[in-house]
Structure 1
Amino acid sequence: MPREQGRKFIAQNKKARHDYSILDTYEVGLVLTGTEVKSLRAGRASLVDGFATVDDGEVWLQHVHIPEYTEGTWNNHTPRRKRKILMHRSEIEKLIGKTKEGGLTLVPLDLYFKDGKVKATLALAKGKKTYDKRQDLAERDSRREMERAFGRYVKGRR
């Protein structure tokens, strides 16, 4: 049986990019049970309320919802349990320093399979204020309107 190659996305946290300014991203591994992996292979997960914390030199992913595996038996996993994140020690040390500064948080952006293993993209992020969100929306709308006008100009419709 050939090994899985490439990336297969499971879930994305689109709201995180709206609510936070992304400063840095890390590709991390997760410690999961067998039923969690099987549930993820079915493409079921939610990152909406998820965040990561650093406790005693280890990084933990919390409030990420991976539903119970439908074919699982009595040893099925709990959907919102704390999951350990696998990172290099040097990266963890940097994260400890940056999260202690204040105002910064760790947010999962997406979950995916990479060469058969479950990976996540973890972002070091700063929360946006309401006016920042409004400004980003206005900027995106104006950019879109300029592209439309340019497209009409190119096509000769003015």
Structure 2
Amino acid sequence: MAKETGRKLIASNKKARHDYHIEDTYEAGIVLQGTEVKSLRAGRASLVDGFADIENGEIYLHAVHIPTYAEGTWTNHPPRRRRKLLLHREEIDKIEGKVREKGYTLVPLQLYFVDGRAKVELGLAKGKKTWDKRHAIAERTAKRETEIAIGRRAKGMG
């Protein structure tokens, strides 16, 4: 069997970018069981309610849903178990210092394979206020309308 290369996206958390200001991102490996890897290779996972927490100097991923593997037997995994993340000690210390500050949290942004290894992109995030969300929506709408107008003008439609 040929070795897998490149990057294959499994799941993305679009809601996180809407609900949080992402200040910094980190790539971490995940400690998985065999049936979890097979389920991820089938492209099934959800990051919607997920978050990361620091316990005893290690980072764990909570509430990420990886469904049970259909062909799995008694060796199947629980879908929402706590999963350990693999980061360098310096990165963990830096993240821990930031998370202790008021309002910072760790949210998973993407789950993907890089050269056959499962990785998660963590975002160091600060929660947005309601008016921030409305402002972001208004900016996105205005940008879309200007692009449409430019496109029509380029085509000679007015």
- Whether TM exceeds 0.5 here: the answer is yes
3-state SS of 1:48 partner:
coil
Select between 57-66 and 142-151 the one with higher mean Cα deviation: 142-151
- The two structures, once aligned, show a CA RMSD in angstroms of 0.8
- What is aligned with 1:119? 119
% identical aligned pairs: 66
- What is aligned with 1:6? 6
Task: Return the offset for 1:3.
Answer: 0.2
- What is aligned with 2:76? 76
Task: Return the offset for 1:147.
Answer: 1.3
Find the aligned partners of 1:50 and 1:98 in 2 and give their Cα distance.
19
User: Moved runs in structure 1, 4+ residues, more than 4 A?
Assistant: none
Find the aligned partners of 2:40 and 2:119 in 1 and give their Cα distance.
11
- What is aligned with 2:108? 108
- What is aligned with 2:136? 136
Task: Return the offset for 1:150.
Answer: 1.7
Structure 2 counterparts to residues 1-158 of structure 1, below 5 A: 1-158=1-158
**Structure 2: gaps of 5 or more residues:** none
3-state SS of 2:61 partner:
strand
3-state SS of 1:140 partner:
helix
The AA in structure 2 aligned to 1:5 is T
3-state SS of 2:45 partner:
coil
Alignment length (residue pairs)? 158
Find the aligned partners of 2:67 and 2:81 in 1 and give their Cα distance.
11
Find the aligned partners of 1:116 and 1:82 in 2 and give their Cα distance.
22
Find the aligned partners of 1:68 and 1:100 in 2 and give their Cα distance.
34
Task: Return the offset for 1:105.
Answer: 0.5
The AA in structure 1 aligned to 2:67 is P
Task: Return the offset for 1:152.
Answer: 2.0
Cα deviations by residue, 1:47-79 (Å, 9 ceiling, x for unpaired): 000000011100000000011111111121111
**Structure 1: gaps of 5 or more residues:** none
Find the aligned partners of 2:54 and 2:151 in 1 and give their Cα distance.
48
The AA in structure 2 aligned to 1:134 is R
TM-score, scaled relative to structure 1: 0.97
TM-score, scaled relative to structure 2: 0.97
Task: Return the offset for 1:31.
Answer: 0.3
Find the aligned partners of 1:35 and 1:155 in 2 and give their Cα distance.
52
